[in-house]
Amino acid sequence: MPPEPSNGVAAPVCQVDDYFHNTPPPKTLASHQALVREFIQYHLENSPSRRIVLVTSGGTNVPLENQTVRFIDNFSAGTRGATSAEYFLQQGYAVIFLHRRFSLLPYSRHYSHSTNCFLDFMNESDDGRVVVRTEYQDEMRKVLQQYHHAKDNRLLLVLPFTTVTEYLFELRSLTVMMQPLGNRALFYLAAAVSDFFIPRDRMEEHKIQSREGHAGDQGSGAGRQLVINLDPVPKVLSTLVQSWAPRGSMIVSFKLETDPSLLVSKAEQALKRYHHDLVIGNLLMTRKWEVVFVTPDGGERWIRVPKSRRSKSISGVEELVGKAERKHDPEPVDLEGGTMMDG
């Protein structure tokens, strides 16, 4: 597969097509498609004005072997995606949550992967029942009620991926299936997607052996180096915007950088290249308390959690929902200030 041009132009559609043509679809795709079809149909029939958001969350991985023992992973715990999904639900959206398997999930995130083991939230009562400790009752009741509301009203569909291939096939399929929603669809692409992968025809079937004679083995150990030749993953955002997503839908991508001097310009570049609605930029070190909204009209707006609340993280969903509504409804919605998110 030819690499992306070095001037950073979006991958031509043919590169994206080639990728899907040359890569076998994941086994779970058909069953996920059935769930999504049913979910969308349910909301179209029962609450036709409801907006549906596809939230992608967590990092994709790239297997080095077909029967995978080793892989290259992408950073992301899923905090942004899981937290944002809760806020979308709170704003009345139905949420399709496409996430990295075992990364954080809406609601349960409050009690998993935390510094406390979930068992630390519990106690045995005098009569031998297992109960939530007194000090956690109020918070857990609130989370439980929100969780049940989402479940009982079929507002949350949770679908896992692991590899970048699974992610891309799921993303394409879900996006196309959301077409009947028109401008009630929102895409909130917070997943950290691998930039490089090993095409199927070059992937080892079995676990790569460390002692097999690689070229250049001089007995010094140098020959046991593992040299991996990766191809660029085609950038699908342009195709998503132009062909897969419904007309009038809102499309938001995230940009993660480590060098502060690059963040805004990279976000602007992405908007120019892909022609979508918004890039939310964040830096690895400060992502929990500041993000920047970069818009195609040249807007750059920072949202920061005040220092006093910096155990908290933000996703800016309330602000974003305001933007989505302003895009489709004539009445502007004033959501100034409502942007803080817990995490």
Please give the residue ranges that form the binding site for ligand PAZ (CB under 6 A): 76-80, 190, 192-193, 254-256, 282, 287
Give me the least distance between CB of 334 and ligand PAZ, in Å please: 26
For the record, the structure tokens of 296 come out as: 């195609």
Give me the least distance between CB of 230 and ligand PAZ, in Å please: 16
Give me the least distance between CB of 283 and ligand PAZ, in Å please: 9
For residues 115 and 32, what is the distance between their CA atoms, to the nearest angstrom? 32
For the record, the structure tokens of 114 come out as: 């935390």
User: Which of 61, 76 has the CB closer to ligand PAZ?
Assistant: 76
For residues 212 and 224, what is the distance between their CA atoms, to the nearest angstrom? 8
Give me the least distance between CB of 193 and ligand PAZ, in Å please: 6
User: Which of 38, 300 has the CB closer to ligand PAZ?
Assistant: 300
Nearest CA to 95 out of 321, 327, 333, 337 is that of 321
User: Which of 291, 324 has the CB closer to ligand PAZ?
Assistant: 291
For residues 305 and 86, what is the distance between their CA atoms, to the nearest angstrom? 18
Give me the least distance between CB of 170 and ligand PAZ, in Å please: 16
Give me the phi and psi of 313, to 5 degrees please: -120, 170
User: Which of 78, 322 has the CB closer to ligand PAZ?
Assistant: 78
Instruction: Tell me the CB-side half-sphere exposure of residue 210, using CA atoms within 13 A.
Output: 3
User: Which of 32, 99 has the CB closer to ligand PAZ?
Assistant: 99
For the record, the structure tokens of 263 come out as: 């963040």
H or E segment and range at residue 173: helix 164-177
User: Which of 39, 188 has the CB closer to ligand PAZ?
Assistant: 188
User: Which of 287, 323 has the CB closer to ligand PAZ?
Assistant: 287
User: Which of 224, 288 has the CB closer to ligand PAZ?
Assistant: 288
For residues 189 and 195, what is the distance between their CA atoms, to the nearest angstrom? 15
Give me the least distance between CB of 296 and ligand PAZ, in Å please: 18
For residues 55 and 186, what is the distance between their CA atoms, to the nearest angstrom? 8
Distance of CA 61 to the CA centre of its chain: 13
Give me the least distance between CB of 192 and ligand PAZ, in Å please: 4
CA distances from 313 to 85, 226, 255, 282 (A): 14, 39, 16, 12
Give me the least distance between CB of 150 and ligand PAZ, in Å please: 20
Q: Look at the block and give the residue holding tokens 């031998």.
A: 128
CA 53, 88, 160, 71: dihedral to nearest 10 degrees?
A: 100
Q: How many CB atoms lie within 10 A of CB 89?
A: 23
User: Do 316 and 324 touch, CB atoms closer than 8 A?
Assistant: no
Give me the least distance between CB of 109 and ligand PAZ, in Å please: 10
